[in-house]
Structure 1
Amino acid sequence: MNRLSSLLCSLLCCATVALAAEPKRLVVIDQDGSGPAGSNQMAMMLLLQAPQVQVLGITMVSGNAWEPEEVQHTLRMLELIHRAGMPEVPVVPGAVFPLVRTEEEAKIEQKLYGTLPWYGAWGDLAAHTSQQAYHPPFELPRLVEGEPTLKPSSEDAAHFLIRQVHAHPHEVTIYAAGPLTNIALAVSIDPQFAALTQGIVIMGGSLSPQTSDPEFANSPRHEFNFWFDPEAAHITLRAHWPRIDLTTVDISIKTMFTKEMLAEIGTSPSPAARYLVQYTHEFYYLWDELAAAAWLDPAIITKEQKLYIDVDCTRGPTYGDTLSWAAAGKPPLDLQLVHVQTDLDALRFNAMFVGLMKSASHVTDQ
């Protein structure tokens, strides 16, 4: 080994020791965990694989799929990436339905205002045919990755979130990358909940994405997570969090999961890598993964804008659209300042994503 290699090795060892000596960052993941693999599962895996993080639990919410199915996919993911041992990462069932919006009402809106590209758990509301097969909310399809032996928590998501925040006041970050139903319920049950966290990281909303993608070029203020449960997003964004970080469509579409990235991940024998290689079949924007990675390494975000953000809850064609104001133009309401991410260091992000997906589980470090 030459002197430079020896020096780098020594520095890496020192950094590893220093990292191990630091207290772990605490997070509760709130996710619509469709699967197997895909953006929802990969985002959770980033936080589970990060050595500096302790995931206190995963709360599930309907969004891209129905919550009961998402629970099963997430339990199985934990088993397959070898996170099923101690310490336990509980998977906590949450909201199956939005606070107000219903599938039947969305069918009426479709007839009045036109069809949207993505309805998540509701599939194609006209014919129930979409990229994923439709099934009723409490019908559990057979999982292609195998059925989990792990069982979900007997607690509900809202009370789990509240309990964790009270157990670790001002230390827990809420990572919310699906519809915000569980978060809104926790805020509504416990007025202290939001203020007792360290902050919330949200993947949601859309402002003015610069893209030819028709999903966003034609509806620049539409984003699925906010649209699926507008009232929950409204309640969540109005709560008094110490800090709100928002990953919108605008910055998410600057990312892309590629076949080359999966091939690089596939060079690792780690359980996480094997899981992704076996079950990844789509290559798309890294929405939720970016929100997670930016919390792990804030230097990934190179530009941000501070705006006041809310959601349109009026019934009509803009129901669920993102609202935003600069300080000078905001209405005299109790709106919260949001750190809206606008640009990123893509190379740094990709390197972190691939590196964590290739790494072995850090369960024994917790």
Structure 2
Amino acid sequence: MPAHPIPPTLPRDRAEFEAHYAKDPDQWFQYLSDAYTWMEEQEANQTTVDRKLVELQVQVEALQGELQLSQARGAEATSQKNWIVERLDAKEKELAVVRLELYKAQTAAFPTVASLTPTINPDPVAKDRVAETVGAPLSPVTRSTASAQLSERIPDPDKFKATRADLRRFHNAITEKLTVNRDRYPTAVSRMAYVNSRLNDESYKLIQPYIRHGTCRLPDYYDILDILHKAYGDPNEARTARRKLDTIRQRDRDFATFYAEFQCLSLDSGLDDNALAPFLEKAISGELYDMLLTNPPTDYNYHTLVTHFQNLDIRLQEHREGNRLRFPFKKPAQGPGKVVTPLRQEARKIKSSSPGEAEAPREPPARRRPYGPEPTAPL
């Protein structure tokens, strides 16, 4: 079927149309029916096309809005980039001026040297040569003078032991060293070389793939520390700290030593103060826990408990020291037999170490004379 209905013929006037219609009315009826059907279909298709056209127009408007927004953002980014470049150029100029002033200040700190030019012709008419002050440039700064202007050198930290327990100590020590003595290691290459020198053989193998021709190719020493953290760090540091908080005990340590370890674990655990109070109360020694019976705290807040346990521990240490001074030789019995006091131990050492005197052999117990007056011989 063609795109649209075609009439049986194309009459040139009305008379020809009436004649053809009278001759074959069925064919014209079929044409008119097909024409009406085609027009209805075209009307439905036109509605669908109009709806799609509206949707496309909406999409075009949205894309135009996004394009305008992208163009605005691009212009803003370009403007910001230009501003950063200008600021960078200005800072570089300021840095050059500061370096020049620093050089002038360093050179001005050196005393001027007067050099006498000898007279070539001893002519009395000629004027005497006057000592001329030597100006810039001065002699280069010596190593001793430059070292005097550097920061005080911090001792080198111990080498990294390639263990998880030693990672925090090494990280803090290296960061502190390179922060305070940054003027001694001004470049990233020098800082990375120093960090690599503080690694043992096992941990150095992690950094060795990044070294080419004796130079570490990483951006700075922070990247070396990140590699060590990925290899030796605890991925579940908070969970591990909470588990250790549940098992840590003070036992026979003083409270200050115990609390230092407890505080380190509490910071790693991420728990708040209200959650730390039960862990602290469970971890203290039995003596401090018994002292709570007669010396309860004002409240069971974490910081209040810490202060209270510190005061109780001080009183306990003072009590132990007082007992030691009052009863210096009293020792707990180690089993059956006599208690060996420090004086007896010292006397035995002196007796055994005295030269020329050998300890007399002891008599067997059966041959010892009993206590009391000596027996008289029978008459």
TM-score (norm 2): 0.18
Work out which structure has the larger RCO, using CA pairs closer than 8 Å and 6 or more positions apart in sequence: 1
By percentage of residues, which structure has more helix? 2
- Greater radius of gyration (CA): 2
TM-score (norm 1): 0.18
